[in-house]
Amino acid sequence: MSKNQTRKPLEIKISTVVAIAALISETDHAALSAALEQITGGTPDYFEDEFTLLDFGSALPPPVPGSIDWPKLIALFKSHRLNPVAVRNAPAGLEEEIRGQGLSIDTMAPVRAPEPQVAPVKPAEPVAAKAPPQPAPAPIAQSVPTMIIDTPVRGGQRIYARGGDLVLMAVVNAGAEVIADGSIHVYAPLRGRALAGASGNAQARIFSLSMEAELISIAGVYRTFDDGLPKNLLNKPAQVSLINDKLDMKAIGAK
């Protein structure tokens, strides 16, 4: 008889998967191959088998059914160690052939803060003596959830602050991954991977009291440090922001 009769054969839990988005503006195989060669500089291990979203949101004109050689397109990305798993902004009429290649249809849109709701103010009815006008009710401030982690983040561990900021009070070790839809604050050494603005928030930032990161990303724009960080930032308090679609790193307090 089994000693553990309460063990379930299957459990489903929420998990966060970070994927690279490949913004495809045209479907010509030669042009895409040349673009990937330019991005990687011919380095075979530039990417490390990351999950990849094929985003056709900027393709003009949008592809029509039968116009894309999906096996050839998927093989091209895999040859650069990018693994397509889904299509974002799928062109109309292509859903069936996309799913036929084992790809999912991604419908995620950037998360935006809800607009403050203000109750309408009815005009006062005429009376003999009017009361002083009352100001309209002020909008109620929307609270942003914050996740606080007090313990070190081990290598291989992943933490995701969905819908808000992430605050870490202990070291983020090499091989660990910390993710937030908002900003990431590390009041300790940041030695792993930090991905802020994961839902598309380009205003998010990354802060660390000791910048030693392997990878940083804001709203999908990322940078690795295979050759090490700049000497003026290594092991020093630093912040990262996204300016004109480029990551800007500078010492905290610097202008």
Q: Are residue 27 and residue 83 in the same domain, yes or no?
A: yes
Decide if 98 is inside a domain: yes
Q: Are residue 82 and residue 152 in the same domain, yes or no?
A: no
Q: Are residue 97 and residue 151 in the same domain, yes or no?
A: no
Tell me the C-alpha distance between 201 and 217, whole Å.
11
Res. 199: pLDDT tops 90: no
Decide if 11 is inside a domain: no
Predicted model pTM: 0.53
Query: 138-163, pLDDT tens digit by residue?
Result: 554 455 679 999 999 998 888 888 88
Decide if 32 is inside a domain: yes
Query: 9-62, pLDDT tens digit by residue?
Result: 887 654 456 677 788 888 889 999 999 998 888 888 888 888 898 988 877 788
**Mean pLDDT calculated for residue range 175-190:** 94
- Assign 239 a pLDDT band (cuts: 50, 70, 90): very high
Q: Which pLDDT value is given to residue 114?
A: 38
Neighbours of 172 (CB within 10 A): 29
Res. 206: pLDDT tops 90: yes
Q: Which pLDDT value is given to residue 115?
A: 43
Q: Are residue 99 and residue 176 in the same domain, yes or no?
A: no
Q: Are residue 154 and residue 82 in the same domain, yes or no?
A: no
Q: Which pLDDT value is given to residue 243?
A: 93
Q: Is 164:182 a contact under the CB 8 Å cutoff?
A: yes
Choose between 201 and 45: higher pLDDT.
201
Decide if 170 is inside a domain: yes
Decide if 86 is inside a domain: yes
Q: Name the domain count of the chain.
A: 2
Decide if 165 is inside a domain: yes
- Containing structural domain, residue 78: 20-106
CA-nearest of 121, 86, 79 to 105 is: 86
Q: Which of 106, 126, 160 lies at the terminal end of a domain, its last residue?
A: 106
Res. 194: pLDDT tops 60: yes
**Mean pLDDT calculated for residue range 165-175:** 94
The CATH number covering residue 45 comes to 3.30.70.260
